[in-house]
Amino acid sequence: MAESTVKEEKKGNGGGSDKKSKIIKPSLNMKELRELADLVDAHGFTDFEFENEKIRVRLSKNLIAPTAPQTSRTAAPTTAGIQESTDISSDIDNDEADDGLYQITSPIVGTFYRSPAPDKPAYIKEGDSVSGDTVVCIVEAMKLMNEIQAETSGEIVKVYVEDAQPVEYGQPLFGVRK
């Protein structure tokens, strides 16, 4: 990484100024920055910020859900970028089919799990009846397992998210026919 030169003014007694150059060495080189980004990615963070008296670094990425479900709960999502829809007509058909359904949405950003553990059955499946206090899934955020309740009564007719997929705040998880 190239070194930066900063001009610094030094005032003398005679009112004039003496100009002097000072070499500032970078506090983080590109190799260290890449290693930091890899470490943040390896631990599944979507945002990371570090600041000291010399430097401020902020790393951020947007996650999208991969199309194939993950098989392990310990695997961190690594897909980043923007997902584009190539089939507009199928999206419109899905929206029309979901008309009239109450959507249970994610209250937080995290990882969606349908069951309390990988070897346990799902909390609910399509066709199950739920009430307001029925636990429908878990959203893991920062190693905390948050139970999500239905908050409505009805029948689960649609599951929008695959198990172990990242979810965003407000993203629909289930469709409920009241």
**Tokens 């007719």, located at residue:** 157
Q: Is the pLDDT of residue 98 over 60?
A: yes
The whole-angstrom separation of Cα 92 and Cα 98 is 10
**Tokens 């963070």, located at residue:** 45
The whole-angstrom separation of Cα 43 and Cα 41 is 5
pTM of the complete model: 0.47
- Cβ–Cβ under 8 Å, residues 145 and 177: no
Q: Where does the pLDDT of residue 90 fall: very low under 50, low under 70, confident under 90, or very high at 90 and above?
A: very low
Q: Is the pLDDT of residue 92 over 90?
A: no
Mean pLDDT score across all residues of the chain: 74
Decide: helix, strand or coil at residue 164: coil
**pLDDT for the residue 40:** 76
pLDDT digits (tens, 9 = 90+) for 12-68: 455 555 555 566 566 667 777 778 778 777 777 777 777 777 777 777 766 554 444
Q: Is the pLDDT of residue 117 over 80?
A: yes
The whole-angstrom separation of Cα 161 and Cα 178 is 20
What 8-state DSSP symbol labels residue 40? H
Mean pLDDT of 106-110: 94
Q: Which residue has the higher pLDDT, 11 or 136?
A: 136
**pLDDT for the residue 27:** 65
The strand pair at 47-51 and 56-60 is best described as antiparallel
**pLDDT for the residue 175:** 95
Q: Name the E strands within the chain.
A: 4-11, 17-24, 47-51, 56-60, 102-105, 110-113, 129-130, 135-141, 144-149, 154-159, 165-167, 172-177
Which residues, other chains included, contact 170 with Cβ-Cβ below 8 Å and sequence gap of 6+? Answer: 105, 106
**pLDDT for the residue 57:** 77
Q: Is the pLDDT of residue 93 over 50?
A: no
